[in-house]
Homo-oligomer: A and B are copies of this chain.
Amino acid sequence: MRTPHATIEAPPTPRLTGTSAPSTAGTVTTERAPGVHSEPSTDVRTKSQHQRRKRIVQAAAALASRGGVEAMQMRTVAERAGVALGTLYRYFPSKMDLVVAVVSEEIELLETSIERRPPAAATPAGRAVDVLMRATRGLMREPELADALIRSLIMTEVETPFGDRMAALLIRVAGGAGTDGPTEEQLALAGALASVWVHELLEMLRGRRTHEQVQHRIEIAADRLFSDFRSPSSTAN
């Protein structure tokens, strides 16, 4: 038998030598290595490891853009990235971890895009819808990839900053968080909207919704969920 998942010691290096860990955002295998102090964050042993990781994620994304997860086979990824299969597994303990890494990049792209051109709608709900639909369009440009990513994210044991991250983003654009961060309730509502979005996205990927239907449904949900979010004025803190 074999360990199904989780509870693996630490990523690549993190032994007591305090050397490093190639992984940056991925490799979130559910358990922290006990006794191992902090994490020098993006602390990678060498630059070549950074690049190696990058090559891997890149190769993975490229492959996934084509035939989806199916096409993104570990052997192929390793080959394309120019690393040995074992190495690939050292960086990403499972295919899911790799997928998560790919997604993380996508989200970062979205966040950047939002910063560059913030949603302009008048109401908090409107702005939230804006963001979600922008994300939707972005993802739907590569349906195979989107499908693979979304599903994998939902499936995985791996820590998924996804929902929380999207929720935080929504609160931000809706203009919700006071100086001491968002309310419990706001988090709940934003989280709810995020999960509705994910669900609609999945339905769209399954071909059971058109872009319009998705937008409509998200609008309906957003209107209700974000109705008493702070209006665009009253920036009291």
Residue ranges of A at the interface with B (Cβ–Cβ < 8 Å)? 4, 67-68, 70, 151, 154-155, 157, 163, 185, 188-189, 191-192, 195-196, 198-200, 202-203, 206, 216-217, 220-221, 224-225, 227
A11 to chain B, nearest CB (A): 20
Residues of B within 8 A of A189 (CB): 220-221, 224
B195 touches A154 (CB 8 A): no
Known contacts A151-B154, A224-B224: A195-B199 contact under CB 8 Å: yes
Q: How distant is the Cα of A163 from the Cα of B203 in the complex, in angstroms?
A: 10
Known contacts A67-B4, A195-B199: A188-B154 contact under CB 8 Å: no
B217 touches A192 (CB 8 A): yes
Dominant secondary structure of chain A at its interface with chain B: helix
Residues of B within 8 A of A70 (CB): 4
Of B185, B196, B199, B200, the contact of A220 (CB 8 Å cutoff):
B185
Q: How distant is the Cα of A216 from the Cα of B196 in the complex, in angstroms?
A: 17
A1 to chain B, nearest CB (A): 10
Closest partner residue, chain B, to A185 (CB atom):
B220
Q: How distant is the Cα of A220 from the Cα of B203 in the complex, in angstroms?
A: 24
Interchain residue pairs A-B with the least CB separation, the first 8: A195-B199, A192-B221, A188-B217, A192-B196, A224-B224, A188-B220, A154-B154, A4-B70
A192 touches B163 (CB 8 A): no
A188 touches B155 (CB 8 A): no
B202 touches A220 (CB 8 A): no
Q: How distant is the Cα of A42 from the Cα of B166 in the complex, in angstroms?
A: 43
Q: How distant is the Cα of A4 from the Cα of B192 in the complex, in angstroms?
A: 33
B191 touches A199 (CB 8 A): yes
Residues of B within 8 A of A67 (CB): 4
Residues of B within 8 A of A151 (CB): 154-155
Residues of B within 8 A of A195 (CB): 195-196, 198-200
Q: How distant is the Cα of A226 from the Cα of B151 in the complex, in angstroms?
A: 28
